[in-house]
A and B are shown apart, each in its own frame.
Chain A
Amino acid sequence: MSAAVVAYPPLRRRVVNVAMLTLSGLCTLLVVGVLLTILLYLLWNGAHSLTLHFFTQLPAPVGEPGGGVRNAIIGTLKLLSLATLIGVPIGLLGGIYLSEFAGGWSGFAVRYTTDLLNGVPSVVMGIFVYTLVVLPMHHFSTLAGGIALGIMMIPIALRSTEDFLRAVPRSLREGGLALGASKSETIFTIVIPAAIYGILTGILLDIARVAGETAPLLFTAFGNQYDSPGWLQPTASLPVVIYNYAISPYDSWHQQAWAAGFVLLSGLLAVSVVARLILARGKKLSHG
């Protein structure tokens, strides 16, 4: 056998390598491209309406120029706060239970129902909360909308919390137990702090996910041309405003829908970026 001087891999491997690299590169471009296209398209169509007034004024009556979506922006923020207040504690505690305490059978039951809940179509969730909250109260409200979004947040908050807790190495738990900490002391002083950045990231992404939900809000928060004081009135929200304006026959409303879409998407992007930053910071802390 002659000694192989050239360390090149055989031609076939090089060809496959180049082909796969090109393919995955193209797919990446496609994904990033779609997002950029959407963003630019929204900006292109909505830029005309994106003025300061758009953020500070109430919607103008049909036919009048100008007007804004202040009430929808505030409404979305209120809905999301309420949803977080409802969905996050339940998801968090459920995730802790699943990861740390659940036995084989109960773990399976909780996990399975959570996955089913995650699969419930959002419009069904809207009708459900409509029957549960709106009908007894006889009117639409921020409260009902927040409850609908909150229930939708539970499955993802729960599963992401569980995943991040499970990722905490066994050695850390044993380290705590070996120092005489009880199981719950170990969980609350070591395991959760070690996973906290991941858990926060999961919750932020969860909020971003329900922020764009429209269907459940149609039956619960409904919509409102004016500000909605308190929690028991119908309220406008960005997704519903986009929906209503987009199916309207007026050009000026179409433009406002584009602009509202841009505002919503930018907000979600900002939340995602913050979430990634938090996760990166957590990684940096735990690896020196």
Chain B
Amino acid sequence: MARSFSANAVQIRRPDIDRFAHSDAAAERERNQLPWPQFTVADLNFFYGNHQALKNINLIVPNRRVTAFIGPSGCGKTTLLRTFNRMNETVPNTRVEGRIRLGEHDLFSYPVTTLRRVVGMVFQKPAPFPKSIFDNVAYGLRLEHRLNKREMAEKVEQSLRRAALWDEVKDKLHQSANGISGGQQQRLCIARALAVDPEVLLLDEPCSALDPISTAKIEDLLFELKEFCTIVIVTHNMLQAARVADYVGFFLNGELIELNRAKHIFQNPDQQQTQDYITGRFG
């Protein structure tokens, strides 16, 4: 389970991301069918000013599985998700206490730009850059790599295929990304995140602005993505969590009530509060 990303590599601002995706560690994980912890969270507290949004969170997110965070609005699930790629640091007046490990290393020891390439994120509202479809996918690659034209085109195609979008946009790669439908835009955002070969993909209610057909496409996609990517998804939709998740964590008022295999949570939860929530008695 040795990650190739060792402590001394941290000083390199721009490491080759292939080391994350196709490293020996990845090969070793192939042999190790058992999930190992992608994120290990210990005693995590998070504050917006004086308001404590996360209270003493302890959990493990297994790798190459889909983990869903559910809970009523304001329960802290999105805050936790945004802690995983340190997006919360862009919000002024916030404070985080406690420890998070990404694999074997402290999350906060990574340079933040490196971390965000290893831990990709897709947001609630599809927000393609006002550029062409091709340039949207190529954006992350261009930040880091000097790829020639052919390599770039291949990588963009691969990413769009992985996001199940290639067939729909292959004839209009150089048109504005704002011209495609909302569902396509969201898959474009997924393709954009996949282009830099992340180890983890964080999805913050990715389907809440989409119609059922687009939602189904993205859910199907998640089954394929978890082959090479750890997925953490925040959702309000309990049915969605039941459909896509291997593990489910239930949050309430900033606390993690329980996290377990999805089947266990939905059929026989340990906690009464979880039972109440999934049966619709509150929230």
Q: Taking beta carbons and an 8 Å cutoff, which residues of A are in contact with B?
A: 169, 171-182, 185, 189-190, 193-194, 285-288
CA distance A285 to B140 in the complex (A): 22
Interface size range of chain B in the complex:
20 to 34
CA distance A35 to B121 in the complex (A): 52
- Chain B neighbourhood of A285, CB < 8 A: 130, 176, 178
- Chain B neighbourhood of A287, CB < 8 A: 178
- Chain B neighbourhood of A176, CB < 8 A: 129, 139
Q: How far is the CB of B18 from chain A (nearest CB, A)?
A: 14
Q: How far is the CB of A176 from chain B (nearest CB, A)?
A: 7
Contact assessment for A179 and B120 in the assembled complex, using a CB-CB cutoff below 8 Å: yes
- A-B contact sample (9 more), CB < 8 A, given A172-B129, A178-B121, A182-B113: A174-B123, A175-B129, A179-B116, A179-B143, A180-B113, A180-B116, A180-B143, A194-B129, A286-B176
- Chain B neighbourhood of A175, CB < 8 A: 123, 127-129, 189, 192
CA distance A175 to B122 in the complex (A): 8
Across the two chains, which residue of chain A brings its CB closest to B128? A175
| Those of B165-194 within 8 Å (CB) of chain A | 176, 178-180, 189, 192-193
Contact assessment for B196 and A178 in the assembled complex, using a CB-CB cutoff below 8 Å: no
User: How many cross-chain pairs have Cβ atoms below 8 Å apart between A and B?
Assistant: 72
Contact assessment for A179 and B139 in the assembled complex, using a CB-CB cutoff below 8 Å: yes
Contact A180-B140, Cβ < 8 Å, known A287-B178, A288-B178: yes
Contact assessment for A179 and B140 in the assembled complex, using a CB-CB cutoff below 8 Å: yes
Across the two chains, which residue of chain B brings its CB closest to A175? B127
A-B contacts, 10 of them at CB < 8 A, read: A169-B127, A174-B90, A175-B129, A177-B87, A178-B85, A178-B123, A179-B139, A179-B192, A180-B113, A180-B143
CA distance A221 to B116 in the complex (A): 55
Q: How far is the CB of A240 from chain B (nearest CB, A)?
A: 43
- Chain A neighbourhood of B128, CB < 8 A: 175
- Chain A neighbourhood of B144, CB < 8 A: 180
CA distance A286 to B144 in the complex (A): 26
Contact assessment for A171 and B125 in the assembled complex, using a CB-CB cutoff below 8 Å: yes
Closest 6 CB pairs of A and B: A288-B179, A171-B127, A180-B117, A179-B140, A178-B121, A286-B130
Contact assessment for A181 and B113 in the assembled complex, using a CB-CB cutoff below 8 Å: yes
Across the two chains, which residue of chain A brings its CB closest to B180? A288
Partner of A193, one of B125, B130, B140: B130
Partner of A177, one of B116, B129, B130, B193: B116
Chain A proximity mask over B101-128: 1 for CB below 8 Å, otherwise 0: 0000000000001111100110101011
Most chain B C-beta atoms within 10 Å of own C-beta, residue among A172, A175, A177, A185: A175
Contact A178-B87, Cβ < 8 Å, known A171-B125, A185-B143, A288-B176: yes
Most chain B C-beta atoms within 10 Å of own C-beta, residue among A171, A176, A178: A178
Across the two chains, which residue of chain B brings its CB closest to A171? B127
- Chain A neighbourhood of B90, CB < 8 A: 173-174, 177
CA distance A180 to B87 in the complex (A): 10
- Chain A neighbourhood of B120, CB < 8 A: 178-179
- Chain B neighbourhood of A173, CB < 8 A: 90
Q: How far is the CB of B12 from chain A (nearest CB, A)?
A: 14
Q: How far is the CB of B46 from chain A (nearest CB, A)?
A: 18
CA distance A189 to B135 in the complex (A): 11
Contact assessment for A189 and B127 in the assembled complex, using a CB-CB cutoff below 8 Å: no
Contact A178-B193, Cβ < 8 Å, known A172-B127, A286-B130: yes
CA distance A193 to B130 in the complex (A): 8
CA distance A182 to B189 in the complex (A): 18
Across the two chains, which residue of chain A brings its CB closest to B13? A182
- Chain B neighbourhood of A185, CB < 8 A: 143
B131 at the interface (CB under 8 A from A): yes
Contact A180-B178, Cβ < 8 Å, known A175-B127, A185-B143, A190-B129: no
- Chain A neighbourhood of B129, CB < 8 A: 172, 175-176, 190, 194
- Chain A neighbourhood of B139, CB < 8 A: 176, 179, 181, 189-190
| Those of B124-152 within 8 Å (CB) of chain A | 125, 127-131, 139-140, 143-144
Chain A proximity mask over B45-88: 1 for CB below 8 Å, otherwise 0: 00000000000000000000000000000000000000001010
Q: How far is the CB of A164 from chain B (nearest CB, A)?
A: 13
Contact assessment for A179 and B196 in the assembled complex, using a CB-CB cutoff below 8 Å: yes
Q: How far is the CB of A194 from chain B (nearest CB, A)?
A: 5
Across the two chains, which residue of chain A brings its CB closest to B136? A175
CA distance A185 to B159 in the complex (A): 22
Across the two chains, which residue of chain A brings its CB closest to B115? A180
CA distance A83 to B116 in the complex (A): 43
